[in-house]
Chain A
């Protein structure tokens, strides 16, 4: 059992949790994730580690209500416990130090940039975070990310906050020389469609780009291959070889199709829990 120390609503559909997990906090690295299970008979879902505090022995995760399991998690409060939390899993984000790193966070995926940008900034890298959401109320952790990045660029689809438009449009401006400088590397974490759009934006410029893939996972330790992703024509296990891969090598079409394999079952399970938020992500996975 893993105790929830703090819980905070970030938006109507996302919630931040600080967990008492000293072993995971001690060895976590940016880009890694945990598998969690909320009840007996519950499924195992992957959730990215947003941040960790080694001294306090805590990790931070952000969960978006997208189906049965995430709804159950988001109903928990401080003092409650998660049945199983295992990690850290996956490989850390592998980028050479130095230069200008641009983190692009879409929706609740932005949370996963916290520990990456904090470590890179502390290391002396130049850091820019681009945050995207449909509208102002859905932008998460802008203040926290501002503290750990040299600059933060908020983008909203409806123009209610910051730049009016998609993260990719703002990213293209940066690459063209409008704003805090052309990035040497981009790390995009968010919905699959957004990550693919980021890959398409940076590809013509040859900018090294990593995306954090969120395939369906079962064990998360490399023993089933359910999370396999085609990268450069080769099958790779996202839970062990990833979840971050070279964006320009990823077969997004296959990945998006595989993530919809259980849409019918997810609806059944979700309906059983009852509609909390009245909103479904439409994407099979709840992770990342």
Chain B
């Protein structure tokens, strides 16, 4: 038996001072030696509980064993059989609260770096010439609405099962939040393009610029175009605003707008790319989720001298990934905890000049189970800022549900769907991801897409031919 090492093998990363000013990927990925070193730390549990923490149930022990044995082809095959987006999930999953939270090594020692190893295997696969052939054996066509994580995974699973699949995407490029939300420095677009190209090679058709609910209705897909089943993976792309005075001043963005301009429309490359964005010297991002971290770190890279998080609760309640939070600290992001925004101040010409805030303290837990922030009287102050970016959450876009009769939703506009199958209130219409749960994570959406794919297969297999 090799000696068990207690600490996670570190991931090489760009030095913080340098990376805070470029869009290159922060994490460098394991070398072969580091990957083998880390893979050896896995205890190869007889009942690998790590798998229970993974929403797509990757046979984690087995793929890590293959890495340790130097069998990269085998590792890649095992990984891809369970997850059609390994290069993405290995990068953006909150492993600390999923697979790695269950790892038997955890508790006393560092858990095995499952995410880093998943990424290593997928990145190795990217260097190989993949011979992927479409294996469409079935005739029942499946329509998928939305090319984000849940739709892509659902499509990948169904294509693997032999179904002809068409994804309809409203934007001009597929990927959903992976394309417009998560920045290049966390998920290079080349990686995203590669994963999507594999799906295309498997026979998945992706049709962009089609807005279901506008260009075509959901009923058009089932009635006129003959899709046997539909999966709705339209996400939660509707940004929330605070409703505070000054929110419509120039220089105030929703995080969706800010990140879409920069990630999807490449405003960082203006004027080579045509879409502009205006990032001043001081940028306040309101919120403390992953979107807020992405926005604040993007603001630094767009040239802001000061980029700060403004959050009405404390760091205890922050929902961002631990790794992203640490990366943000290293890069010099400032954090204003227990700070509630009250008003965006006008510079006199219609542009934001400051953010008036008040200090908060934590009271009793609220409906979310987190302690409710309560304003401290007479604690108002102004942060001088040129931009305010609102990253306070998103809800499902009502575009589809407004035009689809019989599709039941919750009061918050989330689709009602069976937890195990994703089946909605409409026959042979399934749904998953943020459209059902409200804003959550990439991997939860992927898990929902995979479950729905198998439910669709089961439902179609049970139908008389």
A218-241 interface with B by 8 A CB criterion = 218-219, 221-226, 228, 230, 235, 240
Q: Is A30 an interface residue (CB 8 A)?
A: no
Judge whether B248 and A254 touch: CB under 8 Å. yes
Contacts of B170 in A (CB 8 A): 86, 219, 221
Q: Is B426 an interface residue (CB 8 A)?
A: no
Judge whether B270 and A86 touch: CB under 8 Å. no
Q: Is B272 an interface residue (CB 8 A)?
A: yes
Q: Is A95 an interface residue (CB 8 A)?
A: no
**Contact flags (1/0) for B186-220 with A, using CB distance below 8 Å?**
00000000000000000000001111001110000
Name the CB-closest residue of B to A226. Answer: B257
Q: Is A7 an interface residue (CB 8 A)?
A: no
Judge whether B210 and A228 touch: CB under 8 Å. no
How many A residues have CB within 8 A of the partner chain?
40
Distance, CA A221 to CA B269, complexed state (A): 24
- A226/B208 contact (C-beta < 8 A), A219-B171, A221-B399, A235-B247 known: no
How many B residues have CB within 8 A of the partner chain?
41
Contacts of B238 in A (CB 8 A): 222-223
Q: Is A265 an interface residue (CB 8 A)?
A: yes
Q: Is B274 an interface residue (CB 8 A)?
A: yes
Judge whether A235 and B248 touch: CB under 8 Å. yes
Q: Is A282 an interface residue (CB 8 A)?
A: no
Q: Is B326 an interface residue (CB 8 A)?
A: no
Judge whether A225 and B399 touch: CB under 8 Å. no
Nearest CB in chain A: distance from B240 CB, A = 9
Judge whether A87 and B274 touch: CB under 8 Å. no
Nearest CB in chain A: distance from B61 CB, A = 40
- A269/B215 contact (C-beta < 8 A), A225-B256, A235-B247 known: no
Q: Is B72 an interface residue (CB 8 A)?
A: no
**Contact flags (1/0) for B228-243 with A, using CB distance below 8 Å?**
0000000001110101
Most buried by B among A223, A260, A266, A269: A223
- A223/B260 contact (C-beta < 8 A), A86-B170, A258-B250, A269-B271 known: yes
Contacts of A230 in B (CB 8 A): 248
Contacts of B278 in A (CB 8 A): 261-262, 265
Distance, CA A222 to CA B398, complexed state (A): 9
Q: Is A42 an interface residue (CB 8 A)?
A: yes
Q: Is B150 an interface residue (CB 8 A)?
A: no
Distance, CA A266 to CA B397, complexed state (A): 30
- A84/B271 contact (C-beta < 8 A), A218-B257, A266-B276 known: no
Q: Is B273 an interface residue (CB 8 A)?
A: yes
Q: Is B254 an interface residue (CB 8 A)?
A: yes
Distance, CA A230 to CA B246, complexed state (A): 12
Contacts of A42 in B (CB 8 A): 273-274
Contacts of B216 in A (CB 8 A): 23, 27
Distance, CA A88 to CA B216, complexed state (A): 9
Distance, CA A16 to CA B195, complexed state (A): 40
Q: Is A206 an interface residue (CB 8 A)?
A: no
Name the CB-closest residue of A to B273. Answer: A41
Q: Is B47 an interface residue (CB 8 A)?
A: no
Name the CB-closest residue of B to A228. Answer: B248
Contacts of B171 in A (CB 8 A): 86, 219, 221
**Contact flags (1/0) for B242-266 with A, using CB distance below 8 Å?**
0100011011011011001100011
Q: Is B404 an interface residue (CB 8 A)?
A: no
Name the CB-closest residue of A to B177. Answer: A223
Q: Is B71 an interface residue (CB 8 A)?
A: no
Q: Is A268 an interface residue (CB 8 A)?
A: yes
Distance, CA A224 to CA B243, complexed state (A): 15
Q: Is A257 an interface residue (CB 8 A)?
A: yes
Contacts of A85 in B (CB 8 A): 209
Q: Is B106 an interface residue (CB 8 A)?
A: no
Nearest CB in chain A: distance from B157 CB, A = 26
Q: Is A126 an interface residue (CB 8 A)?
A: no
Q: Is A211 an interface residue (CB 8 A)?
A: no
Contacts of A87 in B (CB 8 A): 211, 214-215
Distance, CA A230 to CA B278, complexed state (A): 22
Contacts of A104 in B (CB 8 A): none
Distance, CA A89 to CA B214, complexed state (A): 6
Contacts of A19 in B (CB 8 A): none
Distance, CA A254 to CA B246, complexed state (A): 11
Contacts of B271 in A (CB 8 A): 265, 268-269, 272
Distance, CA A37 to CA B274, complexed state (A): 10
Q: Is A68 an interface residue (CB 8 A)?
A: yes
**Contact flags (1/0) for A253-288 with B, using CB distance below 8 Å?**
010011011100110110010000000000000000
23 A-B residue pairings within 8 Å (CB atoms) = A27-B216, A41-B266, A41-B269, A41-B274, A42-B273, A43-B275, A44-B275, A69-B274, A84-B172, A84-B208, A86-B172, A218-B261, A219-B171, A221-B211, A222-B238, A223-B260, A224-B239, A224-B254, A226-B254, A226-B257, A230-B248, A265-B276, A269-B271
Beyond A69-B274, A228-B241, 6 additional contacts (C-beta under 8 Å) are A85-B209, A219-B180, A219-B260, A225-B254, A226-B253, A235-B248
